[in-house]
Structure 1
Amino acid sequence: MKLTKILPAFLCVTAGLLASCSSDDPTDPGPGPNEPCELVLVAIDTAKVITMDGNGANPAIVLDRLQNSSSYFSGLAISPEGDKIAYGDYQTLSFSPDVVSTRQIRVAAIDGAGDNAIYTADNTNVSFGAIRYLSGNKIFFVEETYWPDATRKLQIVNTDGTGLQTLPGQYDAADITGDLAYLLLDPVAAANGPRVQIIDRTGDNGAGSLYHNEMFDGIGEYAVGHGVFTTDSKLAVIPYADGNEIKVRIISMDTKTSSDMTIVSGLSGGWISYRVAMASDSNRGVLTVTGEGYARSRSYIFNLTEATVSAPFENNDENVLDVYVH
């Protein structure tokens, strides 16, 4: 595939690091869903948060909680307005003979200000996943334990730490729609290749029922990555490897039909990993790829409507594996 350089039409002016579109005219409702704003990228580097321009330029560390080799973040989400982040924080402090471990969901402004914990797990063996910043100042996340018992809780908490609630079911969720109506599950092995399921949470009296089953025929068991919903909840976007290419499977939530878009081609060598995130316009996304042959990860900005992919940029640190976009 020929990689085409996107020349984005910046139709709005950003203030500082924020990617929100605004106008001095109070009667102007702002751009529509297909009118692009300037992208802002946010990356995790072990236990640091880095912001950068939409082309990877001008990286800046805005949050640093790296205390030792046991400090790391498990995931991150950007608020719908683009002004705040939520992330899963893992810390283990060793002061012989005492060891202090914490597992927290934390929120901060996108420039790192006001960083604070809104949820602290009682069990420090837990892991956090599928963190999503919802409208109305709420955070969704999955809390899992693997030992001594395997448990999974779908949690929602207000950004001030109040109102914790657990949703029904123990689904292995990769993402949830903004209206909490659907869950996108992690891929599982099937007879002809991996499959990804979408759960309708209103089904079965609130326990959830199968809404859609997407098969990835003829590819390896571990070839499908964690998918995400677009902000408008109209699409599910799932990355996967197919031979020497990395593609995204784009599923329409209305019609349950899908199409594929190639993001990277010409891959060679051994292991490779990839993560996808979608911007608030529900159209542009970023795919970050790392593996053998990559001194540092590379990120590709793509546009679903135009079916274009920008020339990749190399992230500034070898530990940047996850890049998020607003």
Structure 2
Amino acid sequence: MILAGDIGGTNARLAYFQSQNGHLHLLSERVFPSREHSELGEIVVQFLQDSGSRPDVACFGIAGPVQNGRVETSNLPWVIEQARLARQIGLPSTLLINDLEAIAWGIGALSSADLVPLNRVNGPVAGNQAVIAPGTGLGEAGLFWDGARHHVFACEGGHSDFAPQGDLQIELLRSLAARFGHVSYERIVSGPGLVNAYEFLRDNGCGTESPELTAQLAQGDAAAAISRAALDGSCALAGKALDLWVSVYGAEASNLALKVMATGGLFLAGISPRVLPRLKGPLFMQAFLNKGRLRPVVESIPVQVVTNEKTGLLGAARCAAVRSSKELSPHVCA
């Protein structure tokens, strides 16, 4: 039995999978609010005690850079060490991978029902792939194609420098630089980043906050309130903020696609499905295609939204299954 985890800044998802005839079957799953716990081990121990069982292998996708079996989470006050986690679970070892690495592992297991295309590409599709996922932060990963299979690799591209396009985004950069110093794409293309974009527009007189949204913002989860108001049309200012967010998202998604040369496809995960109506509008693809002389290259890259929220869990389970079988390199995704 495989214990898989998808550990983000907001929620920690744990699940048991069983591998049968080359397929993974979900047995049980629980979601824990990450910030209500002092460490991952506390959550895992609770899950195991409640289930009354022990896994054979375990793999966790963690939001943060994993180095030498250790990760300091980007959006939580946690330090996770795979050796200590293995002792808490009662296993000889565990596997920690980046959360976007886990999603990348899961891409190969998705069906067409799990994907919504944003563009149409003529001709055969093959080659490297890339994954980008806004959430509490902004995660990115790649899949290198060797001609036979994909090899997954993690990166921290979401923390690269924000490159504004146009006067409005330049003013946004100046505003965020005054607050944070260094301004990465994650400062905009994330849940908290949507709040940053909204507050920038509101504080610079770009619109009026509706009374309904004011009340919702006071109740917490500002990003969700802003996106809902934008999508249902109840607040024009929220709509402007989401449009700004989508444009910056499209530009950075295209940056990633070019850096990885993702001719095999770009996959949008994380909170992307929640704003799907806006992503299907013109702004995302306009920003994505605005690459000057390289426009023909990005026009050839399929862009799809991942709607299966269990992709990270599935990927962590696939990684654990491959690693334990020792049939493939631990970073090879058949």
Q: TM-score, normalised by structure 1?
A: 0.27
- The structure with more helix, counted as a fraction of residues: 2
Q: TM-score, normalised by structure 2?
A: 0.27
- The structure with more strand, counted as a fraction of residues: 1
